[in-house]
A and B are shown apart, each in its own frame.
Chain A
Amino acid sequence: MTGSPLIEIRAGSLSRGGRSILDHVDMAVRRREIVTLVGPNGAGKSTLIKVALGLERLDTGEVHRAINLKVGYQPQNLALDQTLPLSVKRFLTLTQAQPAARLQDILGEVGVPHLMDASVHTLSGGEWQRVMLARAILRQPDLLVLDEPTQNVDTAGAVEIYQVIARLRDAIGCGVLMVSHDLNVVMAATDQVYCLNGHICCSGHPTDVSRDREFQKLFGPTAAATLAIYPHKHDHVHAPDGTVTHGSVAEGCGHDHHHPHAH
């Protein structure tokens, strides 16, 4: 794709308390690329994210980070203690002061411009996820790392948040690494999927991954089928002659011509 990876993990292995959590994992994120990690609970998704961020060390393997890589990180399960009074504005500027106009712009970009002075304790699940996303992009990161950015958000809200993420990627030109459970919706805006279960079961473009036998074994044929539905819609939008493509996924390949496909 575009140049060398922002971050690359080679043959990364890590175990805790005698239990293997990551096993020879290879992964890379490039600029302008959206990479999604999927996998069952306990598959090591959050651990892999922490390795990428430098919060956890690998036992064996290598992590390569681009020089002066600026990272925006949205952690999973950030539940704020009620005892700490905090406005959205203050939450955004916890580690770095920012001009008010810029904060206002960013909140506008994620679709919650009215929340600047609200208390973080009064936000809904969706509003809170958007505010955390705003915080992650505030530093103009090269790499955006999002651990379940749509937790506690309904499906419609989740679709919107993934659209916002894709738009931000286009605007800032950053790479995106995220963990998601929303198999069916997340794929809309994903360039590369890694299916993780301790080791990488399969990886590639969403369409290919959904057909992969390992993936079907892990998530069941139903999940794989819902996953495969999305590229159809995508085909429809991007079909060169404007017609609706109802062909099977194996044949319909009009969704994205920039990616090499392994058939």
Chain B
Amino acid sequence: MLNDFVVRAVIAGLGITLIAGPLGCFVVWRRMAYFGDTLSHAGLMGVALGIMLGVDPTVGIVITGLVISLLLLGLQQQRRLPTDTLLGILSHAALSIGLIAVSFMDKVRFDLMGYLFGDLLAVTTTDLIWIYAGGACLLTALAFIWRPLIALTVHPDMAVVEGQGRLPVRLTFMILMALAVAIAMKVVGILLVTALLIIPPAAARRFATSPEGMAGATVVIGGLAVVGGLAASFTWDTPSGPSIVAAAALLFALSLVAGLIEDARHA
């Protein structure tokens, strides 16, 4: 019989997959992998903020994520520095400030490794509520902006001329990203969040002919990675977060092989 904590880990992992799948597709389509990194690096600052304010660290992570997103939007209005440079500044400044803040907290019991690499096997019922309640809100909001966001991804000016609001949609998307990263950090930790966002969609691309199809395939592949990674973690006592990411990378490699075989058949 399976232990409670294994069941909770699987339920949590699959919940994260449902959230990360569709959002991760946009991260790939909009070339925002570095933005995901920045949000997760800022997460450590959020954890410190949460502990200092005496609230749940997830709240702190969401708040810093939102602040970083708004800062980025603001900084993008000046056109001298490109976005990846801005992200590099925000990302590493936030990470450094977070590490400094954590160093002041030697009085508080603080599991830095847990935040850096995540620990799915330590997921609590409160975490599950965060994942599923937060995830439901997040996916509902994403469904509302889905069409305009795809139009804006294809060509911003064209979408604006056709009456789509650029700023509200982008702002909503950034908020959703901040939320998703805060939630996903539970599973794989700060260092591996982006992997969970971009590897499953990259593996799914081959099998999709529409944006929605790709989001669906991403969820399936992400789910397989979670179950496979946890099984490996349980069997060989490997760390859960890295095991899930490694499983996702393996699935990506398999998708490449499948693609090569398919191409050879058509040739």
Contact = CB atoms under 8 A, between A and B. Distances in A.
Interface of A: 50, 53-55, 71, 73, 75, 78, 80-81, 83-87, 90-91, 94-96, 119, 139, 145
9 contacts: A53-B157, A55-B160, A71-B161, A73-B161, A73-B162, A83-B202, A84-B211, A86-B211, A95-B163
Contacts of B159: 94-95
Contacts of A80: 154
B153 A85 contact: no
Contacts of B31: 81
Interface of B: 28-29, 31, 147-148, 150-151, 153-155, 157-164, 201-202, 205, 208-211, 213-214
A104 to B, nearest CB: 19
A78 B158 contact: yes
Nearest to B162: A95
B157 A94 contact: no
Contacts of B155: 75, 78
B29 A55 contact: no
A175 B158 CA distance: 18
B158 A83 contact: no
Name the residue among B148, B154, B210, B214 with the largest chain A CB count within 10 angstroms.
Answer: B154
A96 B162 CA distance: 9
Contact of A86 (B147, B163, B164, B210): B210
Contacts of B209: 85, 87, 119
A95 B147 contact: yes
Contact of B153 (A71, A84, A95): A84
A55 B158 CA distance: 10
A91 B154 CA distance: 9
A94 B214 contact: no
Given A84-B29, A85-B205, A75 B210 contact: no
